[in-house]
Every structure is written in C-alpha cells, then in structure tokens.
Amino acid sequence: MFDLDGTLLDSRGDIVAAINHALLTTGRSPQPAQVIVRLVGDGTRALCARAAKIPEDAPEVEELIRLFLDYYKAHPLDFTRWAKGALEAIEALSSMENMTLGICTNKHRSATEVVLRALGIEDRFGAIVAGGDTKEPKPHAAPLLLAAKQLGATPAAVVMVGDGVQDILCARSAGTWAVGVESGFSTVEALVHAGPDVTVRDLSMLPGIVQRWREPTTKIKLR
C-alpha cells in the first residue's frame, strides 16, 4: 500500500505552485518552497490553513482549498516526477504472485484521480483511498483499514509504504507492516522515530525486501 506524494511521486513543485497561487489570489504572501513542503502530508485542508497561517476551521480555508484544487488539477504534472525507483518497484511488485497494489493517501480525492489518470496508472491499483474518503485522515488507522478491506486483505498481510510520519503511525494503528521511505518529504530522523519495521533509501530497495519477507525461511516475514 503506497502513499503518493513524497513516496511514489516527487510532486513538491506542483504542490508549491498551487498553494502559492491560492495564497496570491487571496491577497496573501507566497511561501518559500521549503516551508510549504514541510506542511505537506496531512491533507489539503491542513496544508491550505497552515500555509495561510489560519485555523483549519476558518471560513477562508474553503476558498483557499477551491483555488488550490482548481489550479492543481489544471497543472498536475508540470513539475511532478516519479520518485527514484518508484515505477520499477510498481512493475516488480506487480509481477509477484498473489500481490495486489494499493494507494492510501491524504491527497484530496479529486487531485489524486487527476494525477493518476494523467500518469496513466490508475488501473494498476486494486484499492485507492484518498483524502476525504474517511472521516479521519492518516495517521488515523481508518484510511488504511478501508484500503485493506477494498483489497480483501487482513491488516497483517498489508505493507504500508510511505515517506511521512503519518504513514508509519497509521500503519502502527492499523496493525500493518510499515516501510519508511527516506527520500521523501519528511526528515529521516522523524521517520525513524515513528518506528517503521524498516526504512529504505528509495523505492528501488522495496521489491527485494518484500520478496525476502515472503520467503518461508526468513526470520522477518509477514505476520
């Protein structure tokens, strides 16, 4: 089960452009890219509110969300690139017996669909759970449990792969395995502190780890 932004995709350029468009359009000052990237991960509402430095329940947030999403959906791949090893990992994992891939992201549902469609990969995933599909976003367990249910999998058979602390905490709450991706938006220190089962430098390492976990003789295997 993959997170999207920072895990499968390096989407920071398009996220920064969209949020600064929303800020400028509402008469606010744009934020530096490095500041905005640190705000990514907890969903569109949280991102817009934090970037504007207002509470999430402030009335102005709705307009910021609308402006952000309208711009983002019109420019989903201007700067977005595959994260290192991501496409190869998808191909390798898809070829494994009894392996189904899914996405569990806090990215807004409409933005998620636009990006996956633009990349031509939406049919590669048996489950796609996005921001707004559950009442609570990651790090709450609900999104990941819903994705597992859509796949017909028990949590113990699911591996959550993400670059954010919220991904690891979500996996811990849901009772799944957790792989932290060090090449994403979070710091390595924060990622490790969240307690993943293992971390990888980038997704090129993931298929080998999953394959070893699936071998009956390995000491670290899926529960």
Q: Which two tokens stand for residue 176?
A: 């799944």
The ranges of the chain with pLDDT < 70 are 216-223
Q: Residues 78, 9: contact at Cβ < 8 Å?
A: no
pTM: 0.93
pLDDT, tens only, 39-51 = 999 999 999 999 9
pLDDT, tens only, 47-76 = 999 999 999 999 999 999 999 999 999 999
Residues 6+ apart with CB under 8 A from 5: 11, 12, 15, 40, 41, 105, 107, 185
Predicted confidence at residue 214, as pLDDT, reads 81
For residue 159, give the H/E element and its range.
strand 159-162
Predicted confidence at residue 222, as pLDDT, reads 42
CB atoms within 10 A of CB 16: 21
Predicted confidence at residue 223, as pLDDT, reads 39
Q: How far apart are CA 104 and CA 28, in angstroms?
A: 32
Q: Residues 91, 124: contact at Cβ < 8 Å?
A: no
**Active-site amino acid positions:** 3, 5
Q: What is the largest CA-CA distance in the chain?
A: 61
**Which domains, ranges and CATH numbers included, belong to the chain?**
11-74 (1.10.150), 81-214 (3.40.50.1000)
